[in-house]
Amino acid sequence: MEKPFIKTGYLGLCIIIMSLVLLFAFPANTPHIPEGFFTPILAFEFIETQQDVLSLFGYENKSLRDELIRKMNLGNYLDYIFMTLYTMFISFFSISCFKITKKKIFLIPVFLSLLILICDAFENVQLLSITNKIDTGAFEKELINLYFFTWIKWLSIPICFIIFSFYFLKRNFFAKIIGISAYFSFFIGISAFYHKPYLCELLEISIAVNYIMITIYSFVQSDSYNYIKKQ
């Protein structure tokens, strides 16, 4: 039987593998982490003040700081592979939905995925620039740019999932769960924007869960043409 999302499924597996690589590449802990966070790289992405940056990297201990910077930079370089994979995942799933339904709304995530990729890439440029300038503390501009690129990325991903929900909510029970979960991620994202940092970690988890569920769906779904007959 035809599996219209199988390429998306394979990309999902690559994303999971790359996530594990990044888990070991990025530092697992730091001397001090901003309140509400427990993942150093996520705290770094959402960081806003010079003092929080210096505290995050342990500015009082140069050897520790240098090691944390080395690991953070390594993770951010590897992240370019990760961002390419997950934006391709979004794009591939979007195109498959369009081919099945012929509805142009499913082309929107293709363009959003490009925006997400650009923002994520420039987010990493800011992060790498901050670690490069950490001795001077002259990274105010990078912090402003980081805020801009980070939030566009993190809010655009749930929007893509909501568009996918227009497909999922007309399918089977498991698909409906994915569709509902998309709205949950978006709600967390908006709430995190106004009440961060407490919900930023939950936002990351909810997005990861959506990726995993869509990956599973991509491997098991094989009745794409039934959708067309029901229209």
Q: Domain range for residue 11?
A: 6-230
> Residue 154's pLDDT is what?
96
> Residue 64's pLDDT is what?
86
And the tokens for 114? 């490009």
Which residues does 98 contact at the CB level (< 8 Å), separation at least 6? 104, 106, 107
Residue 157 placed within a domain: yes
Torsion-angle region of residue 137: left (phi > 0), alpha (psi -120 to 50) or beta?
A: left
Return d(Cα 129, Cα 121) in angstroms, integer: 12
Please state the domain count of the chain: 1
Question: CA 85, 30, 59, 145 torsion: positive or negative?
Answer: positive
| pLDDT tens-digit map of 25-83 | 999 988 888 888 999 999 999 999 899 998 898 877 788 889 999 999 999 999 999 99
Nearest by Cα to 117 from 143, 83, 168: 83
Residue 1 placed within a domain: no
Return d(Cα 227, Cα 95) in angstroms, integer: 15
> Residue 31's pLDDT is what?
83
Return d(Cα 64, Cα 43) in angstroms, integer: 18
3 state SS for the chain: CCCCCHHHHHHHHHHHHHHHHHHHHCCCCCCCCCCCCCCHHHHHHCCCCHHHHHHHCCCCCHHHHHHHHHHHHHHHHHHHHHHHHHHHHHHHHHHHHHHHHCCHHHHHHHHHHHHHHHHHHHHHHHHHHHHHCCCCCCCHHHHHHHHHHHHHHHHHHHHHHHHHHHHHCCCCHHHHHHHHHHHHHHHHHHHHHHHCCCCHHHHHHHHHHHHHHHHHHHHHCCCHHHHHHHC
> Residue 223's pLDDT is what?
57
pTM: 0.92
The separation between CA 78 and the C-alpha centre of its own chain, rounded to angstroms, equals: 14
**For the chain (length 231 residues), average pLDDT per consecutive 10?**
89 97 94 88 93 86 88 97 98 96 96 98 97 90 96 97 96 94 94 84 96 96 56 45
> Residue 77's pLDDT is what?
98
Amino acid identity for residue 155 in this structure: L
